[in-house]
A and B are shown apart, each in its own frame.
Chain A
Amino acid sequence: MQLQEALQELITKMADDELVIGHRNSEWTGLGPVMEEDIAFSSMAQDKIGHALALYRILQEHFGGSDPDQFAFLRNAEDFRCCHFVEMPIGSYDFSLMRHFLFDHAETVRYQALAQSKYAPFQHLAGKVKGELKYHTLHADAWIIQLCTAGKESRERMQAALDTSFQLAGGIFEPGPAEELLIAEEIYPGEAALYTQWLGHISPVMEKAGLVLPELTAPVYGGRTGKHTPHLQQLLNEMGEVFRLDPEATW
């Protein structure tokens, strides 16, 4: 695999993660447990989808990719490169909140690394999303700590959500097929390095919350090579339902 191809692969998986988690989080709009939280989740969903769009635009402008709408709304599951974690249905709020916490810290360490990237579009984008991510993780940390220290029921729920989520979250860091090329060119530090940094970010919060880190068994891989849960195709069918009526039309 050539460098360009490896880079394209990296951008695609990052963008697909952002689109799918943004889509999932937007499902809480109107249904949140308190109005203030409903608003917060919708707002963060927009940010994620906005990040996806920015990344698809990089593909379009620098790699001759197709229009972001066409690329996002017409592909089927096997062409998506998102991890299984983001595909999972929203479930209860405990799961969605835990996913938000684990994913957003992963996103933060990724963009912190990309701020130093030799690839200029990454540097540029990282500068733009930095401010947003600060508030996303602030929001996640506050809720995790609050719920984990607010009583037996909520603490147990959050621990159970962590147990369910942790191996799935490990799938965010599934190594790419040619990431050593990207590491050598100082485009990004590679998934293993990001994983270690991520643990460093989430551990102090989990400690403060009294959460017990599950055993570090095998993370759930497959998404980066196009192998997905059935949930993804269902999500994509729904997402493309109107757009696919007439992909040539403007909506």
Chain B
Amino acid sequence: MYGGGYIFDEPNRKQQREEQLHDDPEKLAAFEARIARGEKIEPGDWMPAEYRRQLIRLIEQHAHSEIIGALPEGTWITRAPGFKRKLALIAKVQDEVGHGQLLYNAAETLGKSREAMINDLLSGKSKYSNVFNYPAETWADVTVIGFLIDAAAIVNQVANSKGSYGPYCRALERICYEESFHLKQGHDAFIELATGTPAQKAMLQDALNRWWQPIMHFFGPPDKTSNHSEKLMQWKVKMASNDDMRNQFLDAYVPKIWELGLTLPDPLLRKNPDTGKWEYSDPDWDLFFEVIKGNGPCNKERLDVRKWAEEHGRWIRKALMRPEEMERSALPVA
């Protein structure tokens, strides 16, 4: 996983607009020409302040989504049924934490430290993908996450990997490679339930019903209501529109779900044969924004777990990061 399609931005952007005004017009033109030619921007290169800010925001939120996204599935590692699932799930969640590490490193090249990013996550200033604010109630939820949410994230990440910022693109290429294995393991576990006993099928259908709206939310609000993405598209920070990514996801995965005899809780869901586009009921976007604000079913729980990990790990990080203090008290007791 887990790059959510929707990247939260703070409403007050006045300061950034002012910074943008100070960008040297010649440098800006040269920068935009490089991007238009398909060149990658590297950490030492000149870049507009707003480009830097948007990228930090994007990569940081992606990184947070990886480490927070490890939690709903992580709680099922100790309950995974059988050796195969247990080993695969540990490996998968381990990869997600590794993706977090890669992405924090990529964001650090833009000048914000990992510690500052984690602090902003814990204070609520910086967001992560909304989809992880929902509970994983049963084993079937793990298979829905592993199959469909990973699939949705891949749509988003493959698009982003074609973007303009070198370190982010390279991190994403590696991430997408691993994600393709995650998708396979998720699909395998999903099919096992879909073709299993009546109780297993019912468990899966229930999970699918609960996760469908968060999955539809995943790519963000419809294009008609989404603002200020034109510049981001020109700078190749944002590579595809929310609706296009959602459509691509539906096109690839709804038929697979239906083929297994499962249903989706949207009577209007269908592919329009004339336009080739998917039609669906609008998910509850008010709810989406409520969850972003922190009022989802698991926002508090997720951040509390992260805070626990930060607090309990503090003495270890201290022992790693302060050589001068180490020297002063390094003498063993006997």
Q: Could you list which residues of chain A lie within 8 angstroms of chain B, going by C-beta atoms?
A: 23, 26-27, 29-39, 42-43, 45-46, 49-50, 53, 68-69, 72-73, 92-93, 146-155, 157, 159, 209-212, 235, 238-239, 241-243, 245-246, 249-251
B190-210 with Cβ < 8 A to chain A: 192-193, 196-197, 199-200
Secondary structure at the A interface, as helix, strand, loop or mixed, is helix
Q: Could you list which residues of chain B lie within 8 angstroms of chain A, going by C-beta atoms?
A: 67, 70-71, 74, 77-83, 85-87, 90-91, 93-94, 97-98, 100-101, 104, 139, 189, 192-193, 196-197, 199-200, 305, 308-309, 312-320, 322, 325-326, 328-334
For A249, the closest partner residue in chain B by CB is B197
Q: Which residues of A contact B200 (CB under 8 A)?
A: 246, 249
Q: Could you write out 20 A-B pairs with CB less than 8 Å apart?
A: A26-B86, A30-B70, A33-B314, A34-B317, A35-B100, A38-B94, A46-B87, A73-B81, A92-B312, A93-B316, A148-B332, A149-B330, A152-B329, A154-B316, A210-B332, A235-B78, A246-B199, A249-B199, A251-B139, A251-B192
Tell whether A151 pairs with B329 under 8 Å between CB atoms, given A34-B316, A210-B334. Answer: yes
Q: B315 contacts A45, CB within 8 Å?
A: no
Q: How far is the CB of B265 from chain A (nearest CB, A)?
A: 24
Q: Which residues of B contact A146 (CB under 8 A)?
A: 319-320
The docked-state distance in angstroms from the alpha carbon of A209 to that of B330 is 10
Tell whether A209 pairs with B332 under 8 Å between CB atoms, given A150-B320, A154-B319. Answer: yes
Tell whether A151 pairs with B91 under 8 Å between CB atoms, given A35-B97, A73-B82, A243-B82. Answer: no
The docked-state distance in angstroms from the alpha carbon of A42 to that of B78 is 12
For A245, the closest partner residue in chain B by CB is B199
Q: Which residues of A contact B331 (CB under 8 A)?
A: 210
For B79, the closest partner residue in chain A by CB is A241
Q: Which residues of B contact A33 (CB under 8 A)?
A: 309, 312-314, 316-317
Q: How far is the CB of A144 from chain B (nearest CB, A)?
A: 12
Q: A46 contacts B196, CB within 8 Å?
A: no
Q: B83 contacts A42, CB within 8 Å?
A: no
Please tell me which one of the listed residues A50, A153, A250 contacts residue B87 in the complex, with CB atoms under 8 A apart: A50
Tell whether A29 pairs with B81 under 8 Å between CB atoms, given A34-B317, A39-B97, A49-B87. Answer: no
Q: Which residues of B contact A147 (CB under 8 A)?
A: 316, 319
Q: A249 contacts B79, CB within 8 Å?
A: no
For B74, the closest partner residue in chain A by CB is A30
For A151, the closest partner residue in chain B by CB is B329
Q: B67 contacts A35, CB within 8 Å?
A: yes
Q: Which residues of B contact A45 (CB under 8 A)?
A: 90
Q: A242 contacts B80, CB within 8 Å?
A: yes
Please tell me which one of the listed residues A43, A149, A151, A242 contacts residue B81 in the complex, with CB atoms under 8 A apart: A242
Please tell me which one of the listed residues B83, B86, B319 contacts residue A151 in the complex, with CB atoms under 8 A apart: B319
Please tell me which one of the listed residues A72, A92, A239, A246 contacts residue B79 in the complex, with CB atoms under 8 A apart: A239
The docked-state distance in angstroms from the alpha carbon of A53 to that of B328 is 46
The docked-state distance in angstroms from the alpha carbon of A148 to that of B333 is 10
Q: Which residues of B contact A149 (CB under 8 A)?
A: 326, 330, 332
For B114, the closest partner residue in chain A by CB is A35
Q: Which residues of A contact B328 (CB under 8 A)?
A: 151
Q: Which 8 A-B pairs have the closest CB atoms?
A: A210-B332, A33-B313, A150-B319, A42-B94, A251-B81, A30-B74, A243-B81, A30-B70
The docked-state distance in angstroms from the alpha carbon of A188 to that of B94 is 35
Please tell me which one of the listed residues B70, B104, B197, B329 contacts residue A155 in the complex, with CB atoms under 8 A apart: B329
Q: Which residues of B contact A209 (CB under 8 A)?
A: 332
Tell whether A26 pairs with B78 under 8 Å between CB atoms, given A33-B313, A39-B94, A92-B312. Answer: yes
Q: Which residues of B contact A68 (CB under 8 A)?
A: 83
The docked-state distance in angstroms from the alpha carbon of A49 to that of B139 is 20
Q: How far is the CB of B191 from chain A (nearest CB, A)?
A: 11
Q: A30 contacts B97, CB within 8 Å?
A: yes
Q: A29 contacts B67, CB within 8 Å?
A: no
The docked-state distance in angstroms from the alpha carbon of A182 to that of B139 is 42
Q: How far is the CB of A217 from chain B (nearest CB, A)?
A: 19
Q: Which residues of A contact B314 (CB under 8 A)?
A: 33
Q: How far is the CB of A104 from chain B (nearest CB, A)?
A: 17
| Residue of A29, A93, A235 with most partner-chain B CB within 10 A | A29
Q: A155 contacts B332, CB within 8 Å?
A: yes
Q: Which residues of B contact A152 (CB under 8 A)?
A: 329
Q: How far is the CB of B101 from chain A (nearest CB, A)?
A: 5
